Amino acid sequence: MSVDLTDPAVHQALLRAGVYDILAMGFAYPQAESLGRLLEESVLISAETATSAPAIAGPVEALASAVSAADVGALAGEHSRLFSGEVVCSPYETEYETDPFAKSRQLADISGFYHAFGMEVSHERRVMADFIGIETEFMSILCRKEAHAAMNGWDDKAALSSDAQRTFFESHLGRWFQVFCTELKVRTSADVYLKLADLLRGFLGMEMAFLGASPRVLSRRMVSASDSQRPDCDPRVVTPIPESD
């Protein structure tokens, strides 16, 4: 079977996956190697979308500039200040949940999504399923699964991946990204995280329309910083199971 990489639907799914990858890498604990990969991917996606999606190319290019100028040590310190210990700005979905009894249900539902697509959060690292980096990485994987299925003519699998994107976005990621972005913009002056917030808000706003999702939007954080003692999180911890005939 021939594989057509020029198929517009495949190309679009792969570009969307690339932007989700950037977001996942951006919220990981910054190290020289990971920032290098983030810069490389941002430059690539910016060039790929310059003509086809300028609304995305601009924020991605701005992020690339910020990453290029960033001091790794200073950025690592800011990451810890924001997202670790007392969690000045929470990157966890369930801490914005209005119903305190829904927290465990939401975490279970998120894990259920990962399990359904042959993934799980690493047991070797202290990570939480509702971390912003993990949720965006999961969306990237779903986009890649859709592209892979479409390239191989597996229409049912492509539709399944597309439906899962919409459902996960509506049930989880789409509910809290706006309040998280607002919180992040208030809590930091680091250019990388300001640019990440701009990209996250702009891209996910476009995704909401593209997916036809109607999430019940959360408006404020319900868990205080003193109650939040979450571990450091590295979002690059889930791996898709390869597709087969």
Tell whether 49 is covered by a domain: yes
Tell whether 55 is covered by a domain: yes
Amino acid found at 85: G
- Between 120 and 6, the more confident residue is 120
Tell whether 217 is covered by a domain: no
232 pLDDT exceeds 60? no
Tell whether 228 is covered by a domain: no
Rounded Cα gap, residues 141 and 24, in angstroms = 11
Least confident of 38-42, 71-75, 223-227: 223-227
Tell whether 190 is covered by a domain: yes
Q: Look-up: residue for tokens 């205080």?
A: 224
pLDDT at 124: 62
In CATH, what number is assigned to the domain containing residue 204? 1.10.3480.10
Rounded Cα gap, residues 205 and 188, in angstroms = 22
Tell whether 121 is covered by a domain: yes
Entry pTM: 0.88
> pLDDT digit string (tens) for 69-84?
999 999 999 999 999 9
Long-range (24+ apart) CB contacts under 8 A made by 164-167 are 164/113, 164/116, 164/117, 165/139, 165/211, 166/211, 166/212, 166/213
The pair of three-digit structure tokens given for residue 142, joined into one six-digit string: 């779903």
Domain containing 199 equals 8-210
Mean pLDDT of the chain: 88
Domain count, the chain: 1
Tell whether 119 is covered by a domain: yes
> pLDDT digit string (tens) for 136-188?
999 999 999 999 999 999 999 999 999 999 999 999 999 999 999 999 999 99
- Between 243 and 121, the more confident residue is 121
> pLDDT digit string (tens) for 196-205?
999 999 999 9
Rounded Cα gap, residues 98 and 220, in angstroms = 8
CA distances from 126 to 122, 131, 159, 201 (A): 8, 11, 33, 27
Burial of 227 (0-12, 13-18, 19+ CB in 10 A): exposed
Q: Look-up: residue for tokens 């986009």?
A: 143
Tell whether 215 is covered by a domain: no
Percent of the chain with pLDDT over 90: 74
Rounded Cα gap, residues 202 and 204, in angstroms = 6
Rounded Cα gap, residues 12 and 174, in angstroms = 20
70, 42 in Cβ contact below 8 A?
A: no
